[in-house]
Amino acid sequence: MRIRLSLAKALHQKKLIATAEFDILEQSFYANDANDADDVDDDQGDSSDNQQTNRKRRRDQSGVRNGLKMAFSRFPIDKGNPCSMRHMKTVLNDYFTKLSVSEAASNDQLPSPNDVAEWALLSFCGLVAANGMDEPKNTESEEYSMESQMVTLLTLENAKSQRFTNAVKSRIRQMLEPPMVDELSNLNILCLVRFFSYLDENIVNMLFTHGLNMCFQCGCGSGFSSFPKLIAAYASIISRRNQSFSSMSFQKDVNSLISALDHKDEEAKQMVKFTSAIFDLSTYLMMEGDRKKKCKIYS
């Protein structure tokens, strides 16, 4: 055990294995003995074959849950270490495989896709906080490329990951709906717009349209505390990356999607006014931010 841990520690220091991999290895040495004792107590009434099956099932479930939590919680610590992204992909693929098996054998109790989606988005938030609020000129650096890689991983759709991807999308939409959208902190807003900045612009337009429509339906000024900040922050990030980006075009695209919604004539007019007010506030925030930057430079 000591030799293996020493080797793992040396590999971790050389960034050849992720922090989560080292922690999981270290915990496994001390967890096995305790698990064996618990399994003997739990399986005394079962046959030998049943004992082995039950032990393996419990260890698999515990290992998957622990592996996922470790991978997501340690990911921000490992920013810039490509091994952590490799490890996260491996752990998630293992989870997807076991999740598809558990659908056929409903006795297994794996973490739900909603739980794993929540852990994943919290991990992304931690990575953004670790990278800092201001993007560097070189956004191709390993630290920042890990953000885009993680967004790709969380939104990649295939037969195995469909349930998890749907859970991530559902969670994102919920954050744009009342009452949650009005409770977003500045850090939440930063993380959301950084997440959006790596998505296709058509998807982002649909997300903003969905959120604005839900806030309009809710009424009572819902959305006015967060949506101008969300739009201003998103436009600010994209305009730095893409010189051809236009806030006016962005607003026009969103308005086009909003006009296609199933609203009555009077309701549609009110919706346009609501959206225009949100975008006007976001424009003011962007102009005010530029003014403060100039004042700071001159002072």
CB 125, CB 119: distance < 8 Å: no
pLDDT given at position 278: 95
The whole-number pLDDT of residue 225 equals 92
Identify the segments of the chain with pLDDT beneath 50.
37, 40, 52-58, 107, 297-299
Q: How far apart are CA 247 and CA 289, in angstroms?
A: 15
pLDDT of residue 141: 67
pLDDT at 140: 63
| Residue where the block lists tokens 């990649």 | 156
Give me the residue label for tokens 């997300």.
207
Give the pair of three-digit tokens for residue 270.
Answer: 């009110």
pLDDT of residue 179: 93
| pTM for this entry | 0.82
Taking the C-alpha atoms of residue 291 and residue 134, their distance in angstroms, rounded to an integer, is 17
Domain boundaries, the chain: 1-40+55-175, 179-299
Q: What is the pLDDT of residue 122?
A: 96
**pLDDT at residue 291, as a whole number:** 59
pLDDT digits (tens, 9 = 90+) for 142-201: 777 899 999 999 999 888 899 999 999 999 999 999 999 999 999 999 999 999 999 999
